[in-house]
């Protein structure tokens, strides 16, 4: 019940999928949640779900690609909740699924703006608040696609590899400030993002799901709470000696 009691947690992309799970589970374990997203209706619903069960949460509209917005929203959260303990850099998009030689500059830039620059902006503007508080935990959602490759979504692979190493650099830079930085590497998790990939796949949703079974040695894809609980662990004091690490939650996908 109280694994992160009293901590103030910001979750980017908190309205759906893995972000929504992180918001709900962190709140269930006693944290105050800043739910941030582009989707106001869905984000406000997450807040309602949390407050209905006695938790504390508030919604902020936040596009992580806009530095001025990130700076302002984080200052508002600091003012509203008094501190920032945890940042979950979760907002991310899959981008186009084309071979490298067909990808346009605009397609490349629009993906990296969210998945890489968004993580940079949010980390940059959370750090001063965490330094002032003399502690913090930053949790960057990378992917199995940031560890191993597959012949698809090239900009996504590049972005998640970047997030993996940004995590380690920031872990070293801010260890002396007692700010821990770790990455999480989910296998396929059934969320609106993956549902969209399934809908767009040439063989259709059923064939896509069947393929996911064979990709994960445990025989199925994951669900958002499988990742949400990993995020709770990294946010909590249970992980106080963990920084610069990769938490792989993938049903065995990368074990082969």
212 binds ligand NAP (CB under 6 A): no
Longest CA–CA span in the chain (Å) reads: 52
Picking from 139, 149, 182, 173, the residue whose alpha carbon sits closest to that of residue 23 is 139
Tell me the closest approach of the beta carbon of residue 165 to ligand NAP, in angstroms: 16
Helix/strand/coil for 174? helix
252 binds ligand NAP (CB under 6 A): no
Catalytic residue IDs = 156
Question: Are 155 and 108 within 8 A, CB to CB?
Answer: yes
- β-bridge partners, 179: 136
From the list 61-69, 175-183, 202-210, 238-246, the region that binds ligand NAP by CB under 6 A is: 61-69
Sign, Cα dihedral of 75, 80, 83, 84: negative
Q: Which two tokens stand for residue 147?
A: 């560890």
From the list 3-11, 16-24, 202-210, 241-249, the region that binds ligand NAP by CB under 6 A is: 16-24
Cβ neighbours around 47 below 10 Å, total: 21
192 binds ligand NAP (CB under 6 A): yes
228 binds ligand NAP (CB under 6 A): no
Give the Cα separation of 140 and 122 in Å (integer).
Answer: 10
Q: Which two tokens stand for residue 28?
A: 């269930």
Tell me the closest approach of the beta carbon of residue 57 to ligand NAP, in angstroms: 15
Site string for ligand NAP, 111-150 (x = CB under 6 A): ---x---x----------------------x-x-------
Residues 6+ apart with CB under 8 A from 204: 198
From the list 7-15, 125-133, 169-177, 210-218, the region that binds ligand NAP by CB under 6 A is: 7-15
57 binds ligand NAP (CB under 6 A): no
Site string for ligand NAP, 63-82 (x = CB under 6 A): xxx-----------------
Question: Using the rule CB under 6 A, which residue among 19, 55, 136, 230 binds ligand NAP?
Answer: 19
Picking from 13, 125, 112, 118, the residue whose alpha carbon sits closest to that of residue 60 is 13
Residues of the shown chain interacting with ligand NAP in the complex, contacts defined by CB under 6 A: 12-13, 15-19, 37-39, 62-65, 90-93, 114, 118, 141, 143, 186, 188-189, 191-194
């Amino acid at each position: 019940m109280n694994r992160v009691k009293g901590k103030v947690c910001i979750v980017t992309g908190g309205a759906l999928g893995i972000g929504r799970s992180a918001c709900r589970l962190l709140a269930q374990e006693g944290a105050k949640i800043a739910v941030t997203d582009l989707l106001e209706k869905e984000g406000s619903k997450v807040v309602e779900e949390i407050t209905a069960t006695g938790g504390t949460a508030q919604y902020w509209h936040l596009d992580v690609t806009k530095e001025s917005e990130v700076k302002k929203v984080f200052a508002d959260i600091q003012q509203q909740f008094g501190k920032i303990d945890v940042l979950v850099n979760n907002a991310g998009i899959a981008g186009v699924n084309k071979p490298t030689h067909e990808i346009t500059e605009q397609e490349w830039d629009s993906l990296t703006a969210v998945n890489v620059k968004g993580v940079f902006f949010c980390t940059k503007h959370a750090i001063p608040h965490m330094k002032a508080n003399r502690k913090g935990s930053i949790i960057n959602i990378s992917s199995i696609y940031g560890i191993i490759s597959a012949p698809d979504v090239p900009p996504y692979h590049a972005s998640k590899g970047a997030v993996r190493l940004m995590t380690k650099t920031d872990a070293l830079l801010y260890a002396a400030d007692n700010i821990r930085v770790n990455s999480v590497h989910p296998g396929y998790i059934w969320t609106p993002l993956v549902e969209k990939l399934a809908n767009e796949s040439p063989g259709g949703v059923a064939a896509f799901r069947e393929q996911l079974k064979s990709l994960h040695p445990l025989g199925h894809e994951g669900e958002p709470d499988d990742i949400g609980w990993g995020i709770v662990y990294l946010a909590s004091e249970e992980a106080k000696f963990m920084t610069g690490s990769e938490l792989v939650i993938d049903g065995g996908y990368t074990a082969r």
